[in-house]
């Protein structure tokens, strides 16, 4: 440092001034460029820990992939295997059956609507019923009992005009398999007569020889 100042031929005051200016510049550079990044390492470590948590969570979910695949297959098999052209009548048949068993009178029914998702076709049916309290409860319970995928989405109840029974507006939804297996078509009947095996043809009988004149 001394030899450098000696080459510049600077006086002691000028040397001290250069040193002070250099120190000030160094502090300014530190404050402007270095100090704002003092917390970068801590933020980087926090992001690293967060990424490690997410990675552990993802790995835990991936470890259950076989379980989820089996659950998807189970859900796909739970839908009612009914051909699409019979689904509307199947839903109304189930409603009428349960209504008769519970003593519920189905007054009106709207046109069924169809929605779809990844696995199921959903048929929704709006019906209006008149019944007693117990009959309505039994009707709704029996619709969703067992392996049935019929459920109630909307329900409103009010007394009827006689105030002796309940009028219920019910929106029912039934889930069906999106691509149900179809029964194999029966083979076409043939009217052709069975072919009877024939034996070899009998040899023709030889004709009698004609005598020659002398």
Please list the rounded mean pLDDT of every run of 10 residues in the chain (214 residues). 62 79 87 77 87 92 86 64 64 84 82 70 84 89 75 88 88 74 50 48 50 49
What pLDDT is attached to residue 19?
82
How far is it, in rounded angstroms, from Cα 200 to Cα 1?
129
- Does 53 fall in a domain? no
Tell me how many domains the chain contains. 1
What pLDDT is attached to residue 86?
63
* Residue in the block written with tokens 């691509």: 179
Q: What is the pTM of this model?
A: 0.44
**CATH value at residue 145:** 3.30.70.60
Strand partners, 175: 122
Sequence-separated (6 or more) residues with CB below 8 Å from residue 165: 130, 131, 132, 159
- Does 127 fall in a domain? yes
- Does 70 fall in a domain? no
| H or E segment and range at residue 78 | helix 65-78
Domain carrying residue 132: 84-177
- Does 39 fall in a domain? no
- Does 11 fall in a domain? no
- Does 190 fall in a domain? no
128 and 92 in contact (C-beta within 8 Å)? Answer: no
- Does 148 fall in a domain? yes
- Does 195 fall in a domain? no
104 and 201 in contact (C-beta within 8 Å)? Answer: no
């Amino acid at each position: 440092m001394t030899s450098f100042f000696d080459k510049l031929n600077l006086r002691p005051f000028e040397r001290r001034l250069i040193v002070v200016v250099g120190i000030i510049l160094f502090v300014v550079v530190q404050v402007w460029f270095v100090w704002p990044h003092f917390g970068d390492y801590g933020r980087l470590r926090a992001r690293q820990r967060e990424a490690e948590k997410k990675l552990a969570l993802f790995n835990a979910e991936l470890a259950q992939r076989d379980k989820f695949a089996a659950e998807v297959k189970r859900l796909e098999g739970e839908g009612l295997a009914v051909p699409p052209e019979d689904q509307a009548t199947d839903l109304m048949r189930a409603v009428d059956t349960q209504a008769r068993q519970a003593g519920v009178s189905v007054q009106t029914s709207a046109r069924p609507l169809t929605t779809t998702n990844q696995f199921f076709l959903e048929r929704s049916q709006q019906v209006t019923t008149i019944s007693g309290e117990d009959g309505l409860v039994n009707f709704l319970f029996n619709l969703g009992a067992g392996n049935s995928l019929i459920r109630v989405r909307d329900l409103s109840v009010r007394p009827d005009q006689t105030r002796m029974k309940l009028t219920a507006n019910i929106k029912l939804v039934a889930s069906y398999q999106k691509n149900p297996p179809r029964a194999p078509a029966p083979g076409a009947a043939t009217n052709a007569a069975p072919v009877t095996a024939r034996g070899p043809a009998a040899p023709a009988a030889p004709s009698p020889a004609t005598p020659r004149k002398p």
